[in-house]
Structure 1
Amino acid sequence: MYLKHLNILNYKNILQAETAFCDGINCFVGPNGAGKTNLLDAIYYLSFCKSYFNSIDSQNINHSEDFFVIQGAFERNEHEEQIYVALKRNQKKQFKRNKKEYGKLSEHIGLLPLVMISPSDERLILEGSDQRRKYMDSVVSQYNKPYLDRLIRYNRALMQRNALLKKNDHFNQGLTAQLDVWDEQMVRLGEDIFLQRTRFIEQLVPVFREFYHHISGGHEAVDILYTSHFQKGEVLKMLRENRDRDLILGYTSRGIHKDDLQFLLSGQPVKKEGSQGQKKSFLIALKLAQYEFLSRHNGFGPILLLDDVFDKLDSDRGNRLIQLVAESRFRQIFITDTQKERLMEIVRETGKKSCFFKVVEGTVKKNIDGI
């Protein structure tokens, strides 16, 4: 699968861009703030129906305009897929596949698998558990449609339970009966979500270790541990035993919405012990493992977006990363960088077909310096 053509109007600082891409490495070169990352984000939007960086859709419209449009033509399983998204301020978003609008945006997830590696991924290490759950959910949802449906239903049940807890300050027969209903739904849905997350992590970790071993030169041991209340006993019993506490807190303190991942470097949290280069290596290995995982499930490789990945990597780690992306498993890659010469050298090392684009103040021009 690969992206053949992209058309953008008024998306962030890109007022208009129309570009054709090669089935290989596509490089966006330009200064910071030029719009390179916004181009990657537009590609991401076509896959996930949302921005990678800003979940508030209206804030992705150029500040001086009233709408944005993103269109992309993809080659998938020898068929062309035309994807169109448009948003006007204060109106519902339109998302179409081959000119037919989706009834639910969740129907689109997984059609165009994609993996994004960005400096903002550091939030997976530095921020709260919700970021790591979102990571698991975004991957599993790309190949498992029932998972996404169960997750949506679970979150609705959780929202209803929390609303009851906030609205009441003491227990009565009616509240207890309503909590029983939501507790049973959350446990039934949560059991399957837990199982799918467990299987995903079990399959991901060995591949992740291989990628990290390659990037780091084999000098450091890494691991990922999945933690969940479902590993600690009967969650239905926990929900009922914690009702008094939940009523005081005003939210639900047990369930798969509290799951987390522990990222470990030599047995210690990478958040505390890892250098900048080690943290970046950890995240790159994690995302490359995600790429390999999706490739095995789909039978073809996702599109790979690499945003400023060589910053904070020493030359050895950077060279090992180049060796990885040169492999045939990585079909279409988009890379951003501020240094043209560094990117040209990287592309030469891979031996892959390439296209270069110069990005300046939201404008995109192809084939700089005759490359």
Structure 2
Amino acid sequence: MILKSLRLTSFKNHPDSIFEFGERVNCVLGKNGVGKTNLLDAIYYLSFTKSAVGSQDRLAITHNQPAFTLFGQYEELTLAIQFEKGKVKTVKINGQEPDRLSDVIGQVPLVIVLPDDTSMIKEGSEDRRKFFDGALSQFDSEYLKSLMKYNKVLKQRNSLLKVEQGRSLNKKLLETYDDQLIPLAQSISGKRKEMEEVFLPFLQKNYAALHEGNEVPNLKFKSHVGGDFAQQFTANHPKDQIMQRTLLGSHKDDFEFLLDGELIKKFGSQGQQKTFIIALKLALYDFLKERTGKTPLLLLDDIFDKLDDSRIALLVSILLDNKRFQQIFISDARKDRSKELFKSQKAIKFIDL
């Protein structure tokens, strides 16, 4: 996939900007605060209909403006998104509104690396689940539908469990939610387990390419959703009622990140953690390319931060593999560094903000 041009109107600190991109490496350069990350986020928005760095659409609107619009011209299609305060977000694929916003996901496969991605290692399980859910959703539309339905029913079930003191629980309605959640959880967690097995070789290959050593990364999927999950789930009703929320299910799944058999969260250095995350994202790129038959866009925000010179050199040599990668977007606050790193390359476009 190739993004040829992008127009941002009232999107964050881009009041009305038009960008044209090269087909290979695009270096977005400028001081902090000029809108480098926001430009990459706009590209991400078009693939996922949401921000990579913020949870609320209204926060993406330029201050004192009523709405933002994004319009991306790709080689094979156009994507447009508009969000106006107080109204429903609209999306168009080739000028036509899809039946659901989620129909956009997978149209343009995309992988983004952000400075805060190490939170996947340092924080709780939610960020790790989101990573693998995002991976699965880009090539498996049925998985995405199941996940969205699961989250909706889970929210309804949790609301039911939060009954006011003195009121009796509607057990019949609870069983109705159970009948929906149990098979959805079994399907979702089953596909996550499969993802662990098929994704690991991609991760290990990319980590080895980024690190001059013998360290071996690993993944370990942890879930309560097993063969006797239905019985465990219904037997857990009393605990759910006491805690007023659903204690078992796919929303409790986790992926442990390991290096030489130890949790990288506890024993990995800052450089090892950053290398692990980059390897994880490049593994996702290779995985999606193989599964979808499309070449994803690769967005690298402030990618060289916290990497030593040897790792930067390895990463740049990897990115310049024309057979493997196609269109890449790199942001860097240090203009001289990027221009020096890519000075010998012809297919480089520098975008100064």
- TM-score normalised to structure 2 length: 0.96
Quote the residue 1:182 is aligned against. 177
**Among 335, 339, 357, the residue aligned to 2:334:** 339
Q: Who is 2:304 aligned against?
A: 310
Return the offset for 1:182: 1.6
Inter-partner Cα distance in structure 1 for 2:29 and 2:22: 16
Structure 1 runs not aligned, ≥5 long: 360-371
Partner of 2:219: 224
Change (3 A) 1:245 1:168: farther
Aligned partners of 1:219, 1:200: CA distance in 2, in Å? 24
Contact 1:24 1:352 in 2 (8 A): no
Query: What amino acid is aligned across from residue 260 of structure 2 in structure 1?
Result: S
Change in 2 beyond 3 A, CA 1:218/1:170: farther
| 2:193 matched residue in structure 1 | 198
CA distance in 1 between counterparts of 2:175 and 2:136 reads: 29
2:63 is matched with 63
Q: Is residue 217–residue 260 contact of structure 2 (8 Å, CA) maintained in 1?
A: yes
Matched, 1:296 2:290: yes
- Answering whether residue 260 of structure 2 is matched by residue 273 of structure 1, we say no
Q: Distance in 2 between matches of 1:211 and 1:24?
A: 20
- Aligned CA-pair RMSD: 1.6
Correspondence for 1:52 = 52
Q: Give, in whole Å, the separation in 2 of the partners of 1:330 and 1:169.
A: 58
Q: Tell me if 1:167 matches 2:163.
A: yes
Q: 2:93 corresponds to which letter in structure 1?
A: R
Question: Shift of residue 279 of structure 1?
Answer: 0.9
Supply the distance in 1 between the matched residues of 2:78 and 2:347 (Cα, whole angstroms): 24
- Alpha-carbon distance in structure 2 between the residues aligned to 1:253 and 1:284: 33
CA apart distance, 1:171: 9.5
Question: Once the 2 structures are TM-superposed, how far is the Cα of residue 181 of structure 1 from its aligned partner?
Answer: 2.1
Contact kept? 2:111, 2:285, Cα under 8 Å:
yes
The match for 2:132 among 112, 117, 136 is 136
- What SS class does the counterpart of residue 119 from structure 2 fall into? helix
Please give the residue correspondences for 1:76-87 in structure 2 after superposition, counting only pairs within 5 Å: 80-87=76-83
Cα pair 1:184 1:236 within 8 Å, conserved: no
Show CA shifts across 1:220-265 (max 9, x none).
Answer: 221111111124x411111122111111111000011100010112
Are 2:96 and 1:106 equivalent residues in the alignment? Answer: no
Moved more, 130-139 or 140-149: 130-139
CA displacement at 1:348 relative to structure 2: 3.7
Give the alignment partner of residue 145 of structure 2, picking from 114, 139, 149.
149
The structure 2 residue matched to 1:125, chosen from 101, 121, 137, is 121
1:213 matched to 2:208? The reply is: yes
Report the Cα offset of residue 117 of structure 1.
0.5
- What secondary structure, in the 3-state scheme, does the structure 2 residue paired with 1:92 have? coil
Q: TM-score, normalised by structure 1?
A: 0.91
What does 1:23-62 correspond to in 2, within 5 Å? 23-62=23-62
Structure 2 SS opposite 1:254:
coil
Distance 1:94 1:182 in 2: 30
Q: Contact 2:182–2:230 (CA<8 Å) still a contact in 1?
A: yes
Unmatched tracts of structure 2, length 5 or more: none
- Alpha-carbon shift at residue 150 of structure 1 (Å): 0.8
The 3 A distance-change label for structure 1 pair 170 and 317 is farther
SS of match in other structure, 2:162: helix
The one-letter amino acid of 1:182's match is: Y
> For the Cα contact (< 8 Å) 2:109–2:294, is it kept in 1?
no
The percentage of aligned residue pairs carrying the same residue is 40
For residues 112 and 59 of structure 2, what CA distance do their matches in structure 1 show? Answer: 21
SS of the residue 1:5 aligns to: strand
Q: Which residue of 2 aligns with 1:22?
A: 22
* Aligned partner of residue 225 in structure 2, secondary structure: helix
Tell me by how many angstroms 1:317 deviates.
Answer: 1.0
| Counterpart Cα distance in 2 of 1:205 and 1:145 | 22
User: 2:44 and 2:294 mapped to 1: Cα distance?
Assistant: 18
Residues of 2 paired with 1:16 and 1:109: CA distance?
A: 25
Q: Which amino acid aligns with 2:231?
A: K
- Offset of residue 352 of structure 1: 5.6
Q: Give the one of 88, 91, 94 matched to 1:92.
A: 88
Name whichever of 52-61 and 260-269 sits farther off.
260-269
**Cα offsets for 1:33-73 (capped at 9, x unmatched):** 11100000000001100110112000110113221111100
Amino acid at match of 2:191: Q
CA distance in 1, matches of 2:166, 2:224: 26
User: What SS is found at the alignment partner of 2:170?
Assistant: helix
Distance change in 2, residues 1:177/1:315 (3 Å): same
